[in-house]
Amino acid sequence: MQRGNNRLPCFLDDADRARYRHLLREALLATDCRLHAYVLMDNHVHLLVTPPKAGATGRLMQKLGRQYVGQFNARHRRTGTLWEGRYKSCLVDSADYLLRCVRYIDLNPVRARMTDDPVAFPWSSCAALCGLRDDPLLTLHPTQGALGATDKERGDAYRNLLAETISDGDLAAIRAYLQQQRAYGRDTFQAMVQAKTDRFAEVRPAHRPPRTRIELE
């Protein structure tokens, strides 16, 4: 996820979104990253990406971010930063966890009350994943491909998934793992990530335990 500075818009109109999509396509080709889902909101973007090797996601976001900011500033006659610091990312387990993230991304416009129908929002992966249009940005993850043997079967299966309500617990978990940049998945997945990276993989508690008060007499 990358957010506009001070939560201000990073897209002022559809022409901005079209430029971002074009630059995203170029950055994906340059870094060999594969994009499985995306949404371009008013003041932030979500991308679900598989990199070919370590560091590729960083290069993708650096290339995309710098080029877009330069063109955005030139077009709108402004200077200075556009993004709120570095992008945030978390590792995602396959199977159910990946599909939860895909649904979370494509349903962003509905939660933001920008549309009642996620398929109708033109700046996301939703319509393509439902089999209603082609999108050259997207490459299906094997978990997405396993939803059906044909495009129609996969589209129908994904539409059924979209119709299911995302629980408040799943919403909170995805947001927490992304905000803290942890590994979103099964215990075994988190243990594997922690062993390979030597970094804590689980979400930390939102609040620290209260301090014990000591009084001197």
Q: What is the DSSP string of 2-14?
A: EEBGGG--S-SSH
Cα dihedral 66, 3, 109, 185 sign = positive
**pLDDT reading at 129 higher than 90:** yes
Phi, psi angles (nearest 5°) of residue 94: -80, -170
Q: pLDDT tens, 91-115?
A: 999 889 999 999 999 999 999 999 9
The answer on pLDDT for 210 being more than 70 is no
Overall pTM surpassing 0.85 (yes/no): yes
pLDDT, average across residues 40-51: 98
**pLDDT of res. 207:** 53
**What distance in Å separates the CA atoms of residue 178 and residue 1, rounded to the nearest whole number?**
8
**Average pLDDT, whole number, for the chain?**
92
Spatial CA neighbour of 83 closest among 95, 99, 66, 105: 66
pLDDT at residue 214, rounded to an integer: 38
pLDDT digits (tens, 9 = 90+) for 164-200: 989 999 999 999 999 999 999 999 999 999 998 888 7
From 26-35, 66-75, 126-135, 203-212, the region with the lowest mean pLDDT = 203-212
